[in-house]
């Protein structure tokens, strides 16, 4: 080949490479938007839980059912979602997921009008099902829509977007729904007050439903390339064979208890703030998620350059144990910040400590995942599917917290209930130190 031809080929190669980069920009922008929506819908629960607890006069256990009904949908709809995606394709699967979320948003209107708790729970269940379908469709794009060598960076960016939405959602909820109800915390609400607060949900949820519906329709018209699955069909006995690896089986449990404590920290902080008489209880989730985003950034910077995955997981577990004990035994006054830093704080120490749990939790998911899949070989895809089931921990974490509070609305009972997180962090610590190294059950 002549030098001119070589030069021409090089130029063409550069052009093609540039075109491939450009061709993935639009799909990645769409996927990024969908990840933000997933995070927004998920972490909106942290504001919705105490809000419904206030207007429907719910006990902590009853309020925890709001989170339970959302996350339990993962358990029941994960496998059907995968079947739907195989049937209709990834792009149509995204659209169907958003259509289901749109229906869920519309269900909040009759729920708010009637103030029937069961309707709110059903709306949450449908929202969780739609979110599971959307997540099943959109997650593969992050890995497969761009170069394989930059997949980890894309996963991190999407994770930050997802958690960042958790900072924004409570602020939006408070601005749109609670801005007209100052001074209602700690006050015995009349039926007129309750009606006014419940009706405040209608326009925001209607707007969210319309937006998600329009975006879902737009996705069907956008240039999203269809992904082609090239994995082999799952063979009988592969699940049993995968679970014979202790590192995977224990990793599933580790993710289950991790998601449990993540959701406790993110979604019960508002209810606890309500019991303490904090006026802005609905924005408390933003504090937890802000700490989580900070932890996510540090994880991207430090792992594996400075810290190994195992070391990071160990530190996270130890910090979780220390913070849990500090929350249970800590003061509900504003002492800690002023004593340590000489600054004024409007939040009780216990709330700030719960928020810092977001920092402790941030690295657990990305650290457990590779440790659990290490050495699985051909069983990696089966192991990944089993690990996803750990998300069901989000359904049970707040439920155990509600049960531990004894159904009592007092701040002291709810504060002591956070002790349910201690065995969860202890198990994560065990997995970090020993569990992920186990090669057999003997």
Domain ranges of the chain: 20-221, 237-442
Distance CA 389, CA 280 (A): 34
Which among 435, 275, 414 is positioned nearest to 368, based on CA atoms?
A: 435
24 pLDDT exceeds 80?
A: no
Structure tokens at 30: 């769409």
> Which pLDDT does position 391 carry in this prediction?
86
Give the mean pLDDT of 322-351. 76
Distance CA 109, CA 122 (A): 12
Could you give the C-alpha distances from 231 to 86, 235, 379, 380, 382, in angstroms and in order? 12, 12, 11, 11, 11
Which among 44, 5, 31, 30 is positioned nearest to 174, based on CA atoms?
A: 44
**Predicted confidence band at 402 (pLDDT cuts at 50, 70, 90)?**
very high
> Which pLDDT does position 16 carry in this prediction?
37
Whether 393 and 263 have beta carbons less than 8 Å apart is answered as yes
232 pLDDT exceeds 60?
A: no
Distance CA 129, CA 134 (A): 9
367 pLDDT exceeds 70?
A: yes
Give the chain's mean pLDDT: 84
398 pLDDT exceeds 80?
A: yes
Give the mean pLDDT of 366-383. 82
Per cent of the chain over pLDDT 70 is 86
Top-confidence residue, 214 or 23: 214
pLDDT digits (tens, 9 = 90+) for 240-272: 888 899 999 999 999 999 999 999 999 999 999
- Name the range with the highest mean pLDDT among 89-93, 204-208, 330-334: 204-208
Comparing 20-221 with 237-442, is the CATH topology the same?
yes
Per cent of the chain over pLDDT 90 is 47
Top-confidence residue, 216 or 3: 216
pLDDT digits (tens, 9 = 90+) for 32-71: 888 899 899 889 999 999 999 999 999 999 999 999 999 9
> Which pLDDT does position 228 carry in this prediction?
63
> Which pLDDT does position 20 carry in this prediction?
44
6 pLDDT exceeds 60?
A: no
What pTM, to 2 d.p., does this model score? 0.84
CATH topology of domain 20-221: Growth Hormone; Chain: A; (1.20.1250)
Determine the CATH number of domain 237-442. 1.20.1250.20
225 pLDDT exceeds 80?
A: no
pLDDT digits (tens, 9 = 90+) for 377-393: 888 777 877 887 888 89
**Predicted confidence band at 234 (pLDDT cuts at 50, 70, 90)?**
low
With 0-12 / 13-18 / 19 or more C-beta atoms within 10 angstroms meaning exposed / middle / buried, residue 27 is: middle
**Predicted confidence band at 428 (pLDDT cuts at 50, 70, 90)?**
very high
């Amino acid at each position: 080949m002549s030098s001119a031809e070589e030069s021409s080929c090089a130029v063409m190669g550069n052009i093609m490479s540039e075109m491939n980069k450009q061709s993935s920009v639009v799909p990645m922008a769409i996927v990024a938007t969908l990840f933000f929506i997933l995070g927004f819908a998920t972490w909106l629960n942290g504001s919705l839980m105490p809000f419904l607890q206030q207007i429907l006069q719910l006990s902590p256990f009853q309020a925890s059912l709001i989170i339970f009904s959302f996350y339990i949908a993962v358990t029941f709809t994960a496998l059907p979602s995968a079947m739907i995606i195989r049937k209709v394709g990834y792009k149509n699967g995204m659209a169907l997921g958003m259509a289901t979320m749109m229906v869920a948003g519309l269900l909040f209107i009759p729920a708010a009008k009637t103030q029937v708790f069961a309707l709110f729970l059903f709306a949450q269940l449908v929202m969780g099902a739609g979110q599971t379908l959307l997540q099943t469709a959109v997650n593969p794009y992050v890995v497969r829509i761009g170069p394989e060598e930059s997949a980890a960076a894309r996963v991190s960016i999407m994770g930050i977007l997802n958690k960042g939405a958790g900072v924004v959602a409570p602020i939006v909820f408070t601005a749109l729904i609670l801005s007209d109800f100052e001074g209602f915390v700690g006050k015995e609400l009349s039926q007129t007050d309750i009606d006014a607060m419940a009706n405040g949900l209608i326009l925001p949820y209607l707007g969210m439903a319309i937006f998600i519906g329009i975006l879902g329709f737009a996705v069907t018209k956008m240039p999203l390339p269809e992904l082609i699955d090239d994995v082999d069909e799952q063979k009988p006995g592969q699940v049993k064979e995968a679970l014979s690896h202790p590192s995977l089986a224990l990793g599933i449990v580790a993710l289950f208890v991790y998601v449990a404590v993540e959701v406790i920290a993110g979604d019960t902080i508002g209810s606890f703030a309500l019991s303490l008489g904090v006026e802005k209880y609905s924005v408390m989730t933003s504090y937890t998620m802000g700490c989580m985003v900070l932890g996510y950034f540090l994880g991207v910077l430090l792992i594996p350059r400075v810290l190994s995955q195992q070391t990071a997981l160990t530190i996270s577990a130890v910090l979780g144990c220390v913070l849990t004990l500090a929350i249970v035994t800590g003061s509900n006054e504003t002492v800690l910040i002023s004593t340590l830093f000489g600054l004024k704080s409007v939040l009780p120490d216990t709330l700030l400590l719960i928020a810092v749990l977001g920092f402790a939790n941030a690295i657990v998911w990305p650290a457990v995942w590779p440790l659990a899949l290490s050495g699985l070989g051909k069983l990696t895809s089966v192991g990944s599917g089993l690990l996803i089931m750990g998300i069901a921990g989000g359904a049970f974490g707040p439920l155990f917290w509600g049960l531990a509070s004894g159904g009592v609305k007092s701040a002291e009972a709810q504060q002591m209930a956070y002790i349910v997180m201690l065995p969860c962090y202890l198990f994560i610590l065990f997995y970090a130190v020993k569990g992920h190294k186990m090669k057999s059950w003997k």
